[in-house]
Structure 1
Amino acid sequence: MRLLLISLLTALPLLASASELLPFTASYTADWKQLPVSGSAERSLVKLESGQWEYQFRASMLVAELTERSVFHLNGQQIQPDQYRFKRGGLGKSKEISHDFDWANKQVTGSDRGEAVKLTLKSGLQDKSSYQLALRNDVADGKKSMSYQVVDGDEIDVYDFRVLGEEKVRTKAGLLDAIKVERVRDPTKSGRTTVLWFAKDWSYLLVRLHQKEEDGKEYQIMLKEAEVDGKPVQGAKDS
């Protein structure tokens, strides 16, 4: 009986708390609606020997490639970015951004497409990658509306989000229970929309993202397979 109980417990999906980050690797399909080919994307979160965390995103297809990397540390439960790197090439104009966060001297320095960046570093400030993990934490905490100050290029922008509810997402890893979140934008100023889905039972892993640009172009990533804290993500099978 004891062995059976242990076996059942280890087979259960991971129940995440907002106070805990778990390392993961995840691969996705990446689709641009206006282009005739699909691509692939990967996300990973690993803890470094320094005690910092590294969060990476890579997407590629026949004519484009994008890489994004954030190194951050935890101050209590607050995510504090240390370094951000972004590079895009192959589709339209190339773009490269570099930000370094000096918490001791309260400064962000770096470059945006060759132009120097220097900003005042305030508590709670996130980079364009680390805010996603801060969002994940708040969603896991049960919050319904969230706001983040984010270093966006050579300025600080405010990113607002709201929870739309629960929704099942059909992925190649199975049917997953997810929390659906929308980025809130002023409808009079932008026709851009961003919607994200976080898996409830798998440490609130991002399993789907859909974005529509002002010009009507659409982009989506959908989970193919993943491991969270060394355990393969498995959803319910279709009946």
Structure 2
Amino acid sequence: MNVASAAETAETKPQILPYTAEYRISSNSLTTTATRSLSKRGDNWQLSQHAKLMFIKVSEESIIEDGAMGLRPLRYEYSNNFSSRQDQKINFDWKHALASDKKYRKPWSAPLTAGTYDQLSAQLQMRQALICGRFDTAMVQTVVNRGKHKTYEIEKIGEEIIDSPVGKLNTVKLRRGREGSDSETIVWLAKDWNYLIVRLEQTDEDDTYSLELLNATLNGKKVKG
């Protein structure tokens, strides 16, 4: 391979792209909108989501390392101005293999192993596996939330063309669940748009939660079907 070919290959190598997006969120009988963005912060990724319903503001942010060890969360923060007892600030100390949160109402620390993510970085790692062609039929993730580590299996259940507020989109459809639990999440990701999440439906006992893409800009280009 000559230098020109090598450069071309490097330029066309599939990679995560930054974006900004607006989603409609529904939780049981409540509906609001949320903004989500993925951007570079030095050598790391910053993935954040902000939602507001009347006087309630909920924010999430994950700082994610993208290096030789792949995507690894460094810090995750969750804040709710209506219920601060649920606030979290998880620190992922990979050098000492320890995850901890001193802000949560029940401060905790636990051993940290490879393949452990917070709620947001888990979604980015799932998308990266699809973008880079490393997702075959299933994958396993461990997510830490409020001091609990839960291991999920994500399986590919098909492809589907869906109608959305941005037009018809070619999507891959995934299911996430865990052994011994009836809760599950179905997620649709746009194949032609860097596997951006365009729809998500989650059921957990009597609770339901859904997410639908309203508009987005991916790497400076407006997402449309």
**After TM superposition, is the score higher than 0.5?**
yes
| Structure 1 position 107 matched with structure 2 position 107 | no
> What residue is the counterpart of 1:117 in the other structure?
108
Task: Write the distance in 2 (CA, Å) between the matches of 1:219 and 1:46.
Answer: 25
Q: Does the 8 Å CA contact 1:160/1:184 hold for their aligned counterparts?
A: yes
Q: Does the 8 Å CA contact 2:85/2:105 hold for their aligned counterparts?
A: no
Task: Write the distance in 2 (CA, Å) between the matches of 1:16 and 1:163.
Answer: 23
CA deviations on 1:192-215 (whole Å, 9 max, x unpaired) are 221111100000001111112201
Task: Write the distance in 2 (CA, Å) between the matches of 1:162 and 1:57.
Answer: 25
| Structure 1 position 167 matched with structure 2 position 160 | yes
| Aligned counterpart in structure 2 of residue 26 of structure 1, from 18, 21, 24 | 21
| Aligned counterpart in structure 2 of residue 176 of structure 1, from 163, 169, 178 | 169
| Structure 1 position 191 matched with structure 2 position 182 | yes
| Structure 1 position 75 matched with structure 2 position 70 | no
> What residue is the counterpart of 1:128 in the other structure?
119
Partner SS for 1:115:
coil
| Structure 1 position 212 matched with structure 2 position 203 | yes
Q: Does the 8 Å CA contact 2:138/2:156 hold for their aligned counterparts?
A: yes
More contact order relative to length (CA 8 Å, sep ≥ 6): 1
> What residue is the counterpart of 2:5 in the other structure?
none
Once the two structures are superposed, the pairs formed by residues 19-58 of structure 1 within 5 Å of their partners are 20-35=15-30, 38-48=31-41, 50-58=42-50
CA deviations on 1:11-54 (whole Å, 9 max, x unpaired) are xxxx982xx1110001011123424xx21012110001x21110
After superposing the two structures, state which structure 1 stretch, 107-116 or 155-164, moved more. Answer: 107-116
CA deviations on 1:73-131 (whole Å, 9 max, x unpaired) are 112361011110012354x8851111111222222222363222212222222122101
| Structure 1 position 85 matched with structure 2 position 80 | no
How many residues are aligned here? 212
| Structure 1 position 232 matched with structure 2 position 225 | no
| TM-score (normalizing by structure 1) | 0.81
Residues 1:54 and 1:103: Cα distance change in structure 2 (over 3 Å): same
Q: Does the 8 Å CA contact 1:84/1:127 hold for their aligned counterparts?
A: yes
Shift of 1:221: 1.2
- Identity among equivalent positions (%) equals 29
Residues 1:93 and 1:47: Cα distance change in structure 2 (over 3 Å): closer
Partner SS for 1:190:
coil
For structure 1, which runs of at least 5 residues remain unmatched after alignment?
A: 1-14
> What residue is the counterpart of 1:97 in the other structure?
88
Amino acid at match of 2:144: V
